[in-house]
Amino acid sequence: MPKIKPPVSTPRIDMTPMVDLFSLLLIFFVLTASFRPQEAAMIDSPASISEKQAPDFNLMTIFIDKEGKVFFNVDNGADSTTKFRQQILQKMAERYEMTFTPEEYDLFGRLSGFGLPLKDMKKWIHAENSEKREEFQVGMPFDSADNQLGYWILYSRIVNPRAEVAIKGDGDASYMVVKEIMDMLQDNKVNKFNLITNFVTEEVGLADLPPEK
């Protein structure tokens, strides 16, 4: 009697549905991605119930970290061909009598937030990587002796008059630093601030009203 051989089959899984699924997920993520901008410092902002979203463009952001160091960021506007950042740096360079090469302008246009005196800007632009760049971030001077932050704000507003001001402060930052910056902004005729906060829900209804006395 011949031996009965079990049919030999190679165990295999059809990967096609998995690929389909992954493709869909990938497309979803690619389309919804708005890249998390690199932040100049670790900032843990306080929470509020505000549901208003920060504008995507035309925003200058002032970061205040725990120790009161100040960083500044401004975007290129909705249309990246406008190159607002380069124009702002140009004006700053004129003010402080510095010269930057076209490559440096171009590089600066693509970088993000910074917090350093303008004299270190060249080194910051040419830093090899983001870690090296971090070392130069010592905070933007904004006292009355050398109010560079004030000039950054002034020129940002000249170059892009539609720019709004957002303040992203660490919860533990001293209010005095924030107040100083707000006062300076008000001197620059900025009276509307967007305070960036984390969203929390807080349900307070009529039932929470304390009993009437």
Partner 1 sequence: MSQIQTQDPGGKKGSKKKRAKKHSSEIDMTPMVDLMCLLITFFMLTTAFAKPKVMVITMPEKDKNQEVKDQPKISAERTLNILLSGDDEVFYYKGQAAPKKPMPVVAKSDFSKDGVRKLLLNWNRDLFTKITEYREKRLTGEIIVADTTFENTIKQMKMDDKKGPIVLIKADTNARYKDIVNIIDEMAICNIASYAIVDIGQVEVMMIESTKAGTPLTEYPVIKVK
Q: Site residues (CB under 8 A) for partner 1?
A: 5, 8, 10-13, 15-16, 18-19, 22-23, 25-26, 29-30, 32-37, 45-54, 56, 64, 166, 168-179, 182-183, 186-187, 189, 191-199, 202, 204-206, 208-210, 212-213
Q: Count the residues in the chain.
A: 213
CB of 130 to partner 1, least distance (A): 14
Nearer to partner 1, 59 or 89 (CB): 59
How far apart are alpha carbons 163 and 87 in whole angstroms? 14
First to last CA, the chain: 102
Nearer to partner 1, 28 or 103 (CB): 28
Nearer to partner 1, 75 or 89 (CB): 75
Asked if residues 202 and 208 have their Cβ atoms less than 8 Å apart, the reply is no
Asked if residues 72 and 61 have their Cβ atoms less than 8 Å apart, the reply is yes
Asked if residues 113 and 85 have their Cβ atoms less than 8 Å apart, the reply is no
CB of 30 to partner 1, least distance (A): 6
Nearer to partner 1, 134 or 183 (CB): 183
Q: What H or E segment, with its residue span, contains residue 21?
A: helix 16-32
CB of 197 to partner 1, least distance (A): 5
CB of 204 to partner 1, least distance (A): 5
CB of 103 to partner 1, least distance (A): 26
Q: At what angle do helices 148-159 and 84-95 cross, to 10 degrees?
A: 130
